[in-house]
């Protein structure tokens, strides 16, 4: 593995290896065992969008691995003033040991990888959010012990999270159900891939998707960059919510995940979020461990 751009690029074995490294790093972190395997390395973190979890977990993770991280807001570097991605890639490759980038276009992340000479990590695009789903898989395996026979149901917008969840869950052998409005389905090519595996269903019937689910997942109705559409989206997605009725359709021991930030009363009710806070905040914590596994795997010399 040279980069971490989409989960589609990873084999199931590579994903399991990353999860095993993440579990080991979590153990070392919880037991105060030093693990400065990236001593002297520097990660550049380019952000064209806001972030709490991704920024802090990458920065702290790099510190814990013995390296350092530079926060590069795209407003403050020349990229934001039109310096081409391909030039930025070649310049930053001369200074840094790896780059994490959060931006709009997946093609910019791919261009960074093809022109740079250091590992590139996708910290979210409009298309996908592989780091989040790696942490989600770590969390699911912690709670359910294995992926075998599980059903993951995503309710909401067929967005970057839905796209990555389709790939991550199916590559781990889970069944994946997406409940979304017909007008806001996931990426067409990814749906086709999921259908071909025989492990994906896409419907606008929420109860049907939630029936027998072991993991219920949701995300905001308006993603970053869609703020102007937020009011209109509230109407489109009304009802695409994880609430007590949806929980009743799922398996009794179903876990609830949310990548966060959450909008209580929209995609999830306050009571469901709070009654599954252990799941959701363990998931947020696992961003740290899963991303340390990605950095270690890609950047260790």
259 binds ligand NVA (CB under 6 A): yes
Q: Which CB sits closer to ligand NVA, 6 or 93?
A: 6
Where do the DSSP E strands lie in 8-119?
Answer: 42-47, 68-73, 98-102
Q: What residues from 244 to 283 belong to the interface with ligand CP (CB under 6 A)?
A: 259-260
Interacting stretch for ligand CP, rule CB under 6 A, among 46-54, 91-99, 202-210, 228-236? 46-54
Residue 33 has which token pair? 């065992």
CA atoms of 116 and 295, how far apart (whole Å): 16
Q: Is the peptide bond before 109 cis (omega within 30 degrees of 0)?
A: no
Where do the DSSP E strands lie in 4-150?
Answer: 42-47, 68-73, 98-102, 120-122
- Write down the least CB distance from residue 219 to ligand CP, Å: 9
The binder of 52, among ligand NVA, ligand CP, none, by C-beta within 5 to 8 A per type, is ligand CP
Q: Which CB sits closer to ligand CP, 12 or 261?
A: 261
Q: Residue 261 CB: number of other CB atoms within 10 A?
A: 11
For ligand CP, the binding residue among 42, 51, 203, 226 (CB under 6 A) is 51
In Å, what is the CA distance from 74 to each residue of 69, 80, 95, 118?
A: 15, 5, 17, 19
163 binds ligand NVA (CB under 6 A): no
The binder of 161, among ligand CP, ligand NVA, none, by C-beta within 5 to 8 A per type, is ligand NVA
Q: Which CB sits closer to ligand CP, 124 or 180?
A: 124
Which residues form the catalytic set?
Answer: 102, 129, 132, 219, 259, 287
DSSP 242: B
Render the burial of 214-233: b for 16+ CB within 10 Å, e for the rest: bbbbbbbbbbbeeeeeeeeb
The binder of 220, among ligand NVA, ligand CP, none, by C-beta within 5 to 8 A per type, is ligand NVA
DSSP 264: B
Q: Which stretches of the chain bind ligand CP, using CB under 6 A?
A: 51-54, 124, 132, 259-260
Residues binding ligand NVA (CB under 6 A): 124, 159-161, 219-220, 223-224, 259
């Amino acid at each position: 593995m040279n980069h971490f751009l989409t989960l589609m690029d990873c084999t199931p074995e590579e994903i399991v290896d990353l999860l095993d490294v993440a579990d080991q790093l979590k153990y070392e972190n919880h037991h105060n065992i030093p693990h400065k395997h990236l001593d002297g390395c520097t990660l550049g973190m380019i952000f064209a969008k806001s972030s709490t979890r991704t920024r802090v977990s990458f920065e702290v993770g790099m510190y814990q691995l013995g390296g350092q991280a530079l926060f590069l807001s795209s407003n403050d570097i020349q990229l934001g003033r039109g310096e081409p991605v391909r030039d930025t890639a070649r310049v930053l490759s001369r200074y840094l040991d790896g780059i994490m980038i959060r931006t709009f276009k997946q093609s910019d992340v791919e261009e960074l990888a093809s022109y740079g000479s250091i590992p590139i990590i996708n910290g979210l695009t409009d298309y996908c959010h592989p780091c989040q789903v790696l942490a989600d898989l770590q969390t699911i395996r912690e709670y359910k012990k294995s992926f075998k026979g599980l059903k993951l149901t995503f309710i909401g917008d067929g967005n970057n999270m839905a796209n990555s969840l389709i790939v991550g869950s199916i590559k781990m052998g889970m069944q994946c159900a997406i409940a979304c409005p017909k007008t806001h389905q996931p990426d067409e090519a990814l749906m086709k891939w999921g259908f071909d595996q025989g492990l994906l269903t896409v419907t606008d019937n929420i109860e049907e998707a939630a029936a027998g689910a072991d993991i219920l997942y949701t995300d905001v109705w308006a993603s970053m960059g869609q703020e102007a559409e937020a009011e209109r989206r509230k109407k489109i997605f009304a009802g695409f919510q994880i609430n007590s009725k949806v929980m009743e359709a799922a398996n009794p021991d179903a876990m609830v995940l949310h990548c966060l930030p959450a909008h209580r009363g929209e995609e999830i009710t306050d009571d469901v979020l709070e009654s599954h806070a252990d799941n959701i905040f363990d998931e947020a914590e696992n961003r740290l461990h899963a991303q340390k596994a990605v950095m270690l795997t890609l950047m260790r010399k």
